[in-house]
Amino acid sequence: MAQKTPEQINEDLLRPLSGTSGRYLIVLAFLAGIVIAALCSFFWQVYAGLGVSGLRSPVFWGFYITNFVFWIGLSHAGTLISAILRLANATWRRPVTRCAEVITVFALSIGATFPVIHLGRPWLAFWLFPYPSERGIWPNIRSPLLWDFFAINTYLISSVTFLLLPMLPDLALVRDRAAGWKKKVYSVLALGWTGTPKQWNRLERAMHIMAIAVIPVAVSVHSIVSWDFAMAPVPMWHSTIFAPYFVAGAIFSGIAALILAMACLRKFLHLEEYLLPIHFENLGKLLLVMSLLWFYFVFAERLTAWYGNDPSEMTVFWVTQTGSFSPLFWLMVLCNFVIPFPLLAIKKTRTILGTSIASVTVVIGMWLERYLIIVPSLSHKYLPYSWGTYRPTWVELTITAGTFAAMVMLYMIFSKLVPIISIWELKVGLREEAHPAPALAPSHTQPNEVGAD
């Protein structure tokens, strides 16, 4: 990549925007079909009532809340990882950041729909908002569900702007090459970006501040999602470990999603010269660390429950270790640790293929983890007479499949509208590699200036 000229970079990274292949359209149509099926299922549920789902007493949180937690977790792929890499000034981050930030925005948007889907009466979702109703009933700030409202919206606004702001120079680039209606659209989107030193200065400073702000916000979001559970006196939920456990799991699944997205982009958009094996290796190392951390948290959680020997907790413990949920539990361990650990620990297998395989298993494993946190506890709560079972219906399965399809579809559409790799950041990286900055750049107030004037 070091030999690339700025014009070649422009050409390579703007090429995906220039047209669509038949294969692309077929895949898009297939995904759109699944999304439409999911929408039909949702509307059927709205029409017929929540009874068409598998949610029954005592399990009122099933696939929908599993998906909510999973997608919110997956959203940690982008903004959080991108912000950390920006602040650490990791030079290899440049081709990765936008791929990651896009995942956050779409995953968060998808995740945020699930509490509404789960409501059964989605038209009453506005009851969650802190507005002064005519009845004088204000939302209950003491409910963790309301904390979700504030946390997710703060994170969504931060993530969207964190994605959009550094896109402005690239949108200006597309604007200057587009014609007709496209030029008009990109002109509006680029907000009149011209690239004056003032604009660059402000953009970089804003991005730095945003990177600092967005990290604690991201941590808070998944902590608060975990508190939806941990605030309730339900066996295996009421635990102080839940917040860091959830945050670690979120970053874990987020990195896996990022690796998968990058592998697909590399293959289908022919970005082999930009998304290099080193990017996969570095992210693979991060995934390895998170796999170990995940195992540590699971072990700590299980050990504490087992040692405490509380009857209600032990019921859930054994039902997942050896009972009806054990196949899913051990599949989760297989997917989150047994398979990815050797693949990522051995340098020879920490390749693009190896990290991608590990990422697929981690995404599956992390979905299972969310499911296993929710359903076994609710179905085995305290008194045996209240125990029950949960089986998702076709409605929940279709809606779940629809969200996965929607994620891929949105990502595919986005990659055809905006350069999926930040072009200007890539150029800065290449320039810095080729020509390190002068050691002592004089202030602009000095009369005799040096540099490239």
Note whether 336 and 290 are within 8 A (CB). no
How near is the Cβ of 150 to another protein at its closest, in Å?
4
Q: CA 144, 147, 153, 156: dihedral to nearest 10 degrees?
A: -70
Contact call for residues 54 and 391 (beta carbons, < 8 A): yes
Rounded to whole angstroms, the Cα distance separating 109 from 113 reads 7
CB of 207 to another protein, least distance (A): 9
Is 148 in contact with 178 (CB distance < 8 Å)? no
37, 398 Cβ separation under 8 angstroms: yes
Report CA-CA distances (Å) from 119 to 3, 61, 64, 131.
55, 11, 10, 19
Give, rounded to a whole angstrom, the gap between the first and last alpha carbons of the chain: 27
> Contact 333/291 with Cβ under 8 angstroms?
no
Structure tokens at 412: 């595919």
Nearest-Å Rg of the Cα atoms of the chain is: 24
Report the C-alpha gap between 408 and 405 in whole angstroms. Answer: 5
How many CB atoms sit inside 10 A of residue 317's CB?
22
Q: What does the alpha-carbon distance between residue 420 and residue 127 come to, in Å, rounded to a whole number?
A: 37
The residue among 108 and 259 lying less far from another protein, judged by its C-beta, is: 108
CB 340 within 8 A of CB 362: yes
- Please name the helix (run of DSSP H) or strand (run of DSSP E) that holds residue 355, with its range, or none: helix 352-379
CB of residue 445 to another protein, shortest distance in Å: 8
Query: 103: closest CA among 212, 259, 246, 211?
Result: 259
Minimum CB separation of residue 352 from another protein in Å reads 29
Nearer to another protein, 160 or 345 (CB): 160
- Tokens standing for residue 219: 């941590």
Q: Closest separation between CB of residue 246 and another protein, Å?
A: 15
The residue (of 121 and 431) whose beta carbon lies closer to another protein is: 431
Return the number of other C-beta atoms located less than 10 Å from residue 312's C-beta.
16
CB of 441 to another protein, least distance (A): 5
Closest CA to 308 of 238, 388, 248: 238
CB of 84 to another protein, least distance (A): 16
- Measured from the CB of residue 449, what is the shortest distance to another protein in angstroms? 4
Q: How far is the CB of 211 from another protein (least distance, A)?
A: 11
